[in-house]
Amino acid sequence: MTTTVYGLAELAGLAGTDLGRTPWVPVDQEHVAAFAHATHGHAHQADAAEEGSAPPLGGPVADGFHTLGLVGTLVDRLLEFQEIRMNVIYGVNRLRLPAPVPVGARVRLHAVVGTVTEVRGGAREMLLDATVEVEGAPKPACVAQVVYRIYA
């Protein structure tokens, strides 16, 4: 379910709110390759036959920054801003990537709003505790505190 916020005044009331979880979304080879291309990187394609042993992560996986990048997109499925001029990701205070996302896996975001404070110019800064879960995996793929700046 999406939470809708109308203006900066309502935003402060979200502090401490568990926004819930998104539906599961696939991380397929096409998306992994597109991310690698867009960032001038390479898709992590370990080939056991060429190396003569099993790939270190069990097969191809999404880049960790691809996983982090999903947070911004998936947050939009949990939190909608109305009467806001702009919201931007200002930074990340803490980031851990405890487990890989295998190509073909499905992930979802669990998000909890931390503090909401006023910053220079009347904008608000919102800390969002984000966890990217991998379907069937014991560990999350990404745990981050993302810093948003919201402007009216």
Of residues 67 and 52, more confidently modeled: 67
Q: φ and ψ at 45, to 5 degrees? A: -115, 80
Q: Does the pLDDT at position 20 exceed 90?
A: yes
37 three-class SS: helix
Q: What is the pLDDT at residue 96?
A: 98
pLDDT confidence band for 64 (50 / 70 / 90): very high
User: Model confidence over 72-110: pLDDT tens digits?
Assistant: 999 999 999 999 999 999 999 999 999 999 999 999 999
Q: Provide the domain limits for residue 131.
A: 3-151
The percent of residues in the chain predicted with pLDDT above 90, rounded, is 80
Mean pLDDT computed over every residue of the chain: 90
pLDDT higher than threshold 60 for residue 13: yes
Which residues fall within 8 angstroms of residue 17, CB to CB, at 6 or more apart?
3, 112, 113
pLDDT, position 133: 98
pLDDT-derived band at 46 (thresholds 50, 70, 90) equals: very low
pLDDT value of position 52: 52
CATH number assigned to the domain comprising residue 77: 3.10.129.10
pTM of the model: 0.88
Domain count, the chain: 1
Q: Specify the range with the lowest mean pLDDT, choosing from 54-58, 61-65, 81-85, 132-136.
A: 54-58
Sign of CA dihedral 23, 24, 30, 31: positive
Amino acid present at 41: G
Q: Percent of the chain having pLDDT more than 70?
A: 90
- The two structure tokens encoding residue 133: 């879960």
